[in-house]
Amino acid sequence: MNIISNLEEIIEDSKELWLSGLFGSIIGWNPGYDIPVYKDMFFNIIRILLDQEVVRFCRPDDPLGRKEPYWKADSDTIVNYLQENWPDNVTDENDEELNMYFYEMPAILWRDEAGNYKGS
């Protein structure tokens, strides 16, 4: 995994935001790269956040966590799901397909100071 510049700032800026907020923070703290680089940073950060139990996700079949509070899967499974659903032809951060991707993916849940996971 590559070292990501401004990782702490990205995470701090993204807390309690949707996936689109995390992606936007990556771009904001690391301007000048192409979408494939941002995509790699995005998935690397998600893996870090999952492994450190900073975030969890709702299940794909329960994207808002109505049946179960979160997806009980390892980070590889979750990141693979997110990667498999990434739209193929995205070339711009404002691409409509990318916006739909963020809308359609399961909700991200952030751990609060009490150790509870909450959605945006």
DSSP secondary structure code for residue 25 in this structure? H
Q: Where are the alpha helices (DSSP H) in 15-92?
A: 19-29, 35-51, 75-84
pLDDT number for residue 1: 47
Domain that holds residue 51: 7-119
**Domain-located, residue 50:** yes
Q: What is the mean pLDDT of residues 5-26?
A: 95
Its pTM stands at: 0.92
Helix (H) or strand (E) holding 96: helix 96-104
Of the two residues 65 and 10, the one the predictor is more confident about is 10
Query: Domain for residue 2, yes or no?
Result: no
pLDDT at 64: 81
- Is residue 109 situated within a structural domain? yes
Give tens-digit pLDDT for 80-115.
Answer: 999 999 999 999 999 999 999 999 999 999 999 999
Which pLDDT score is estimated for 65? 83
CB-based contact 100:85 (threshold 8 Å): no
Q: In 3-state terms, the chain is what percent helix, strand and coil (to 5)?
A: 45, 10, 45
Which residue in 67, 35, 46 sits closest to 109, CA to CA?
Answer: 46
- Tell whether 95 is covered by a domain: yes
Instruction: Write down the pLDDT at residue 2.
Output: 54
**pLDDT category of residue 119 using cuts at 50, 70 and 90:** confident
Domain membership of residue 66 (yes or no) is yes
Structurally, the chain folds into a number of domains equal to 1
Query: Tell me, what CATH number does 18's domain have?
Result: 1.10.3510.10
- Per-residue pLDDT, 63: 82
pLDDT tens sequence across 42-54? 999 999 999 999 9
Residue identified by tokens 């790269």 is: 33
The reported pLDDT for the residue numbered 93 is 92
